[in-house]
Structure 1
C-alpha cells in the first residue's frame, strides 16, 4: 500500500460515513440521451450547485486576498497528501473536456506539486500533475496562472465522474495556496434513471370485481406503460388504461406496469382476489359519506354489507373546468382512496359526489361550451386517480339557463365512459305545485343510472304552513304539502321510470322550539333550531332519554317530544327517521317498484366511532336489502 493510499484511508472512511463518496452511477438503457452542459462551474466566489465541498485539507472559501476575479478565492494550507475535493452528481466527459482553474502559488510557488485527479465509481484515478498545464508550465510564486487540464488525463472517455480532486503530491507540507475560477468545460449530465411506480401497491378485489391502477414513470419524457398480469389470463385481465378485472377464481395475482421507454423497468402490485359476495337484490342503497365529518364515522368502520354504493363527497368544480379533490378534509384524498378500496373489497361500488350546495357558479363555468371537454376529462381523471366507478352530479340549483349545459355534460360523460355509473340527486315536490316535477329532467334519465329524490327537510315555517315532518312517507295536505310518496309519484308522472327513482332518507333530524309537535301553525323562523350536522342520530338518542317517542301512522313518520325543553332550553320536538320509519320506507319501495334509496349522511347515523355502530344503517339494510 503506497503512501497516498495510507494518507487517504481515514479521510475516505469519513466521506463514506457522511455520504460524500458518491454511489456508482445508475445503469440506464443504452444509449442514453445526454444533456449538454457548456461549463460546469465549481467555484466562483461560492460553491456552485450541484458541486459540494468535501475537502479534507484546511481551507477557506471566503479568502479576500489575493483574488483573481470577484470578491473571494479559496485559500488552503495543505499538509502531506491533503487536498481539495469537490463532489458532484454523475457527469460524463465529452472529447475535449477541460478542467480549468486559476492558481496563485503564494510563497511556495515552484515547490508546490499538485495532482489533479477524478473520482470514478467511488475510486480516485491516478490523474496527472497540475503544473505542466498551467501558463508557463508551472505554478508560480506570488502570481496567478491559468491551468487547463484535459479531463481525458483524469478519467477514461465517457466515464461517470462524481468528483474532482486537487491534492498535494509529494508527501510534504505546503505553504498557503490560492484557487479561483474553478470549473469544467465540456461535461454532460446523464439523464436520471428510468423508474416506474404503481398505485395502489396492494389491493383486495372480489372475484369478477374491478380496480383501477395508475403508473408513474420518471426519468423519461415517454411516460407510457404496458400493463400485464403476471399469471396471464388466469389471473385476470387489465386494460390499456390500467383497469383490472379480477378472475372468477380466488387467489393472489400480480399486475405489472412496464415502461415503454425502458422495458427493463417495471413495477408490480399484488392483487388478492376474494370470493364474490352474494348478489344483492334489485334495490340500491347509496350512502353519502362526507369528508367534513369523517371523524363521526371513520372510513375503516363503514359497514359495506349494508350498502350497494357509497357516494364520497366532495369533489367541487371550478369555473375553468378544473376540479378540487380535497374531499372537504385535510386528509380527504387518503380517506377517499380507503373508501373506494374497501368498497371494492366488499364487492360494492364507489362513486364520487361532485358539487353540492353553494357550487352553482363552478358548475356553470365548468360545463360551458368553452370548458366542458376539459371538465369531463378532469372528472374522469379524478375517478381513475382515486379508483372510483362513477360520479354523482349534484348540480344545485338547476336554473332554466343551465339545462342545455347540464344535459350536454351528462351525455358527454356517458359517451366518454359508457360503463361508468352516473347518478344525480333531484328535488322533492310540493303537492300544491306538482308541476315542480319538471318533465325536462326526463331528458337526463337515459344517461343516468339513478335519480334520487332529496326527500328530507321537506318542511319549514313558510307562510300558511303547519308544522310537519322532515321526511314523511305519506300524509301530505294543503297546509303541509310534502311527502316522500307524493314526490316520487310526481316524478313518475313527469316521465322518469320508477326503476331509476330512489327516495332520500336523512340520518339526522330537524329540531324546533315554540311549537310542540306536528299540525301546529309555525310562528316564524325563530321556531327553527337546527338540522343537518347539528342533530345527528347519536344526539337525538341522547336527548330522547328525557323525551317521548311518538309515531304518526297517517304520515308514517316518527318524532320525539319533550315536556321539559332540551338542548338550548327551548327544543320541544324533533322530527327524524327512526328504524320504524325506515322499515316503512323500505316496504313502500319494494311494494311500488322504486329503485332504492340515498342516505344523507352515513356519518350522522353512527352512534359510536370506535365500534362503527350505526343503528340506522342496520335498519336500512334490513328494509332494503335481502
Structure 2
C-alpha cells in the first residue's frame, strides 16, 4: 500500500510540474497502480462471478476497493440518485476515480452501468472510462456518448451504459475500472451513483454437502446408515471418515457406521470428492447403557397399523429385550415396501430403533406376515434373492435396526429350499445381525407337524418363536378351548404352549432357541358359555386380534366374571348378559396370572423366552403408556 501512495504522489507532482502535458499523461497511463487486496500488492484471488457485481451503492461493495486519486467523497448527501449517498468528485487534469477488484473475465455482454450528474457546470464534461488489463490501463472510451442524451448533463442525473468490450477485449482479465478526466483540464464537481458491472457470467453453484441423519444414537457395537447428498457438481461421490479416527468407530464408503465399544460423542464426516474443502458432519452418541437383561428374552411385536394404541414414545423398553417392528413386506421382484403399515411408519420405525438403542435393547424389523406368501416366493427365488437380501439389509441400515424377523407364512414344502437359501444368504452377508423367525403351534394329535426340516435353520437363527395363540377353533370333534393354554391339552382340545414347545424340541430345535407366544388380545365367542363345550360352527366365533384388545377386555369385564383354569393355566371371563354385539358369552385371554405361569414354565424348562403379539394391544392408556400385561411379562420373564 505504501508504494501505491508514493506512486500517486509522484504522479500528481509530475502532472502539476508539466502543466498537465499529454506526455506525462501518457507516462501515467503506462504505470497504473498494482492490484491490491488486503493491503498487499500482487494478483488477488479470482472473483466469484455474479450476474451484477456492484461497485458502489451508498458505499463500496466487495470485492471492489476505492483507490481513486482525485479529491472525492463516498458519502455525499446531495444530489443523490438512489439511496442515501452518492460519490462527489472534483477532477483536475488526468485525475480519476479508480476502483480495484479481483480479476474479472470480460465477456461480450458485459457492461459498466452508472448514473452521473454534471453538477452546476458539468455539461459535456469529458470523462474517460478505462480498464486495467495485465497491469496497464487500456485506451478506453469517453463516457458521455453512452449516457442518456449522449452526454453528461448539468443539474440532472443521466444513466450511462458502457460495453466492457470497448474497454477490454473479450476474455481479458481486468482488475480495475477508472473514470478519468480526459483532456488535461480541471472539471467542476461531478456526482456518480449506482455503479456496477452487469451481464457477468452466472457462477456455477457452489458445491455443498448434506448428510442424513444429522445426528443419531447408536449402541456400542451397533450400526447406523448415513447418506450424503452433494449439490453443485456432477461428481456426487463423497469420502466417508470418522473425525475421531478408529477410536470413534468405523464407516464404510457406503456410509454404514459401526459404533465403538466405548460410550461417547463421535462425528461421521462426508467429504465431497469434487471439492474436498466441502464436507458435512453428523453427530453420533454412543450411550453408556446398562446391559440387556440376562436369561430369557422378551421380543415384543410393535405394529404400525395400531400405533395409536401405544405411541412409540411410550413404549417401556425396560420390559423388553428386543422390539420387532412391523412391518416391511416383500415384493415378488425382490424389492421391499418400507411404509411399516402407517402413513408415518418410517418416522415411527426410526423413533423405536433410536429409543431401543438408548435403552440398551435390540431393534428388529418384522418382514412379511400373513398374506405375503407370493411376495416371499418371488423375492427369495434364485433370480431375485441376491437383490432381495441387499434390499433387506438396506432397510435395516436406513432405519437403524439390528436384525430381521423372517415371518414367512405359510412355509409350504416347495418353499423350503428358497427359505433356507435366503436365511443362509442373510447370515453370510451380515454375520453379526440378529435373525429370528416365528413358527407354528403343533396339534398334539399330530406331533409330526413339528417338521424336523426346520432344524436346518437352527445354525443361522437366533430365535425360533412358536406362535402359540389362537390355538383353537370350531373344527370337527373339538371342544371349546383357550387361545393360549399353557397346559391341559387332550384329544378333543389338543393344543397347549407346553405341548407345542415339546414337539419342536423333540424335533431337534434346542430349547434355548425356542420361545413361546403370548397374545395381548383375546378370542371372543357366542352361543357357548365357556371351555370344554362342543362348538356349534364358525358362527360361534366373534373376533380376536385387533378387535378384542386387553383394554377392551378390561372394559367388558366390568359386567363379567373372571375365571382361572388351573389345569390349563388359562384365564377367561364369562357374561351372564351377553356383551359387545349382544351375543358374546365368553372371552379367552392371557391375564397377568397366566403370564406369571408362563414365565415360570419357561425358566423351569430352559426355554429361550417369549414373543408378544402385539405390545400395542396391551396398552390401556395411550396418554400415559400404561401397559399392565407388559408389566406382567417383565416380572415373569426378566430378572
Tell me if structure 1 keeps the 8 A contact 2:561–2:574: yes
String of CA shifts for 1:253-293, please: whole Å, max 9, x gaps. Answer: 33322233322222222233332214411211111100000
Is the Cα contact below 8 Å between 1:499 and 1:595 reproduced in 2?
Answer: yes
Residue 458 of structure 2 corresponds to residue 448 of structure 1: no
Deviations 1:502-546 (A, max 9, x none): 111100000001101000000011110100000000001111111
CA distance 1:308–1:151, shift in 2 (3 Å): farther
- Tell me: CA distance 1:369–1:188, structure 2 relative to 1, closer, same or farther (3 Å): farther
* Distance in 1 (alpha carbons) for counterparts of 2:462 and 2:595: 23
| Map of 1:218 onto structure 2 | 230
Secondary structure, aligned partner of 1:590: helix
Q: Are the counterparts in 2 of residues 230 and 254 from structure 1 also a CA contact under 8 Å?
A: yes
The alpha-carbon deviation at position 127 of structure 1 amounts to 12
1:575 to partner: Cα distance? 0.4
| Matching residue of 2:343 | 330
Q: Spell out, residue by residue over 1:24-73, the C-alpha distance to the aligned partner (whole angstroms, 9 max, x if none).
A: xxxxxx99xxxxxxxxxxxxxxxxxx9xxxxxxxxxxxxxxxxxxxxxxx
1:539 counterpart residue number: 552
Question: Counterparts of 2:173 and 2:575 in 1: how far apart (Å)?
Answer: 87
**Structure 1 CA distance for aligned equivalents of residues 245 and 263 of structure 2:** 15
Q: CA deviation at 1:95?
A: 8.7
Give the alignment partner of residue 347 of structure 1, picking from 351, 357, 360. 360
Q: The residue matched to 2:409 in structure 1 has which SS?
A: coil
Bigger-Rg structure (1/2): 2
**Which residue of 357, 365, 371 maps to 1:358?**
371
Pick closer, same or farther for the CA change 1:157–1:581 going to 2, 3 Å: farther
CA spacing shift, 1:558–1:411, aligned 2, 3 Å: same
Tell me how far apart the structure 2 counterparts of residues 572 and 289 of structure 1 sit (CA, whole Å): 30
Q: Does 1:276 align with 2:286?
A: no
Whether the aligned pair in 1 keeps the contact of 2:218 and 2:285 (CA below 8 Å) is: yes
Within-5 A mapping of 1:564-583? 564-583=577-596
Q: CA deviation at 1:486?
A: 1.1
1:321 is matched with which residue? 334
Q: 1:596 aligns with which of 589, 592, 609?
A: 609
Whether contact under 8 Å (1:196, 1:215) holds in the other structure is no
Deviation at 1:149, TM superposition (A): 9.6
Alignment counterpart, residue 487 of structure 1, candidates 500, 504, 516:
500
Q: Pairwise mapping of residues 242-321 of structure 1 onto structure 2 (< 5 A)?
A: 242-321=255-334
- 1:378-407 CA distances to partner (integer Å, 9 max, x unpaired)? 111111111111111111111211111111
CA distance in 2, matches of 1:422, 1:258: 34
**Is residue 420 of structure 1 aligned with residue 433 of structure 2?**
yes
- When structure 1 is superposed on structure 2, of 543-552 and 252-261 the one drifting more is 252-261
* Distance of 1:224 and 1:348 partners within structure 2: 34
Q: How far off is 1:155 after superposition? A: 8.6
SS at match of 2:290: coil
**Correspondent of 1:518 among 519, 531, 534:** 531
Is the 8 Å Cα contact of residues 128 and 154 (structure 1) preserved in structure 2? Answer: no
Asked if the contact 1:194–1:217 (Cα under 8 Å) also holds between the matched residues in 2, the reply is no
Q: CA deviation at 1:558?
A: 0.8
> For 1:530, which of 530, 539, 543 is the aligned residue?
543
Structure-2 separation of matches of 1:567 and 1:534: 11
Shift of 1:495: 1.5
Tell me the equivalent position of 1:465. Answer: 478
Partners of 1:127 and 1:154 within 8 A in 2: no
Contact 2:469 2:484 in 1 (8 A): yes
CA distance in 2, matches of 1:269, 1:237: 13
What is the Cα-based RMSD across aligned positions, in Å? 4.1
Q: 1:209–1:347: 8 Å Cα contact kept in structure 2?
A: no
Aligned partner of 1:477 among 470, 474, 490: 490
Q: Residues 440 and 467 of structure 2 are in contact (CA less than 8 Å); yes or no, is this contact kept in structure 1?
A: yes
Matched, 1:408 2:421: yes
TM-score, normalization by structure 2: 0.70
Q: Confirm or deny: 8 A CA contact 2:213 2:282 kept in the other structure.
A: yes
Stretches of structure 1 lacking an aligned partner (at least 5 in a row): 1-29, 32-49, 51-80, 83-91, 100-125, 133-147, 160-170, 172-183
CA contact (8 A) 2:106 2:165 kept: no
Partners of 2:295 and 2:570 in 1: CA distance: 25
Q: State whether residues 237 and 273 of structure 2, in contact with CA within 8 Å, keep that contact through their aligned partners in structure 1.
A: yes
Q: For this pair of structures, how many residues does the alignment match? A: 498
Q: Which ranges of structure 2 fall in alignment gaps of 5 or more residues?
A: 1-44, 52-80, 83-102, 111-139, 147-162, 175-190, 192-198
